[in-house]
Amino acid sequence: MGTIKVKDGTEIFYKDWGTGQPLFFHHGWPLSADDWDSQMMFFLHHGYRVIAHDRRGHGRSTQTANGHDMDTYAADVAELVEFLDLKDSIHIGHSTGGGEVTRFVAKHGKGRVAKAVLISAIPPLFMKTEKNPDGVPKEVVDGLRDGTAYHRAQFYQDITIPFYGFNRPGANVSEGIRQNWWRQEMMGAATAHYDCIKVLSETEFYDDLAAIDVPVLVMHGEDDQICPFPTTGARSWKLLKHGSLKSYPGLPHGMPATHADIINADLLKFIQS
């Protein structure tokens, strides 16, 4: 584990375990690298080098009020990738992290990235607009802003229920998963989390998806209550030159935690293919 100081002075925290082909994991809003522990341990034991970072303002990285836009998020990753000299790497992103992967691979990945994976991800566009009439309504996005800005401790507990599908009949509710989500969120800066909502909801990825030349696997739960499957994952893979889709009936947004055994096995198949 370590930190790197990027061009504007922000310190980015990262984990770097093992040797072998590098797998770089990108976390969702408003989480941290710790959200990938189940995947990092699995792939570490399968002989891979596993890396994950805390996005600026999140987790253990600098609680800066600056640079909360997708271009800067991707540029931070590019600096870390260059610093670690990662080659033939596979970038895996969940939710907002999937947007970060998309922008990074499109803008900075040439010659360094072998494949990419978008899990429950925000591309091509999250919020409802004229261009995206089936997107998430602005009033829902405004609810995220209000909860984050003014009562995030309780809001961050409440949102874990739909995030992991724990409001569905017969769901196996894990208090450990819920508490770990809350722990990660409260580590970061409220202002960074607030600004990131604009980034995740309004950033368009149509051109980025079309520009990517490497194989990309899109993995999405069909019961995703955060990034609805029909308007995000189901559309993203069609815009990719070398895209494939793996959808999961009944699985939630946070399926890498609730169904890690399924997700890890399918990730391994794609990585080894």
Task: Please tell me the predicted confidence (pLDDT) of residue 33.
Answer: 98
Q: CA 164 to CA 50: how far, in whole Å?
A: 24
Low-confidence winner among 102-106, 131-135, 175-179 (lowest mean pLDDT) = 131-135
- CATH number, domain of 64, equals 3.40.50.1820
Domain that holds residue 158: 2-272
**48 closest CA partner among 120, 103, 119, 114:** 114
Confidence class for position 169, pLDDT limits 50, 70, 90: very high
The question of whether 35 is a catalytic residue gets the answer no
Task: Please tell me the predicted confidence (pLDDT) of residue 1.
Answer: 75
Name the residue type at position 63.
Q
Task: Please tell me the predicted confidence (pLDDT) of residue 242.
Answer: 98
Confidence class for position 136, pLDDT limits 50, 70, 90: very high
Q: What is the rounded average pLDDT of the residues 56-61?
A: 98
**208-258, pLDDT tens digit by residue?**
999 999 999 999 999 999 999 998 999 999 999 999 999 999 999 999 999
The question of whether 38 is a catalytic residue gets the answer no
N-term to C-term CA, the chain: 29
By CB neighbour count within 10 A (0-12 exposed, 13-18 middle, 19+ buried), where does 102 fall? buried
Q: Is the pTM for the entire model greater than 0.95?
A: yes
Quick check: 85 pLDDT over 90?
Answer: yes
Q: What mean pLDDT value characterizes the chain?
A: 97
What is the domain count for the chain? Answer: 1
- Find the catalytic residue in 32, 89, 95, 236: 95
Quick check: 122 pLDDT over 90?
Answer: yes
**38-50, pLDDT tens digit by residue?**
999 999 999 999 9
Tally of CB atoms within 10 A around 157: 14
Contact yes or no for 120/29 (Cβ under 8 A): no
Tokens of 124: 């091509």
What is the pairing mode between strands 216-221 and 243-248? parallel
The question of whether 61 is a catalytic residue gets the answer no
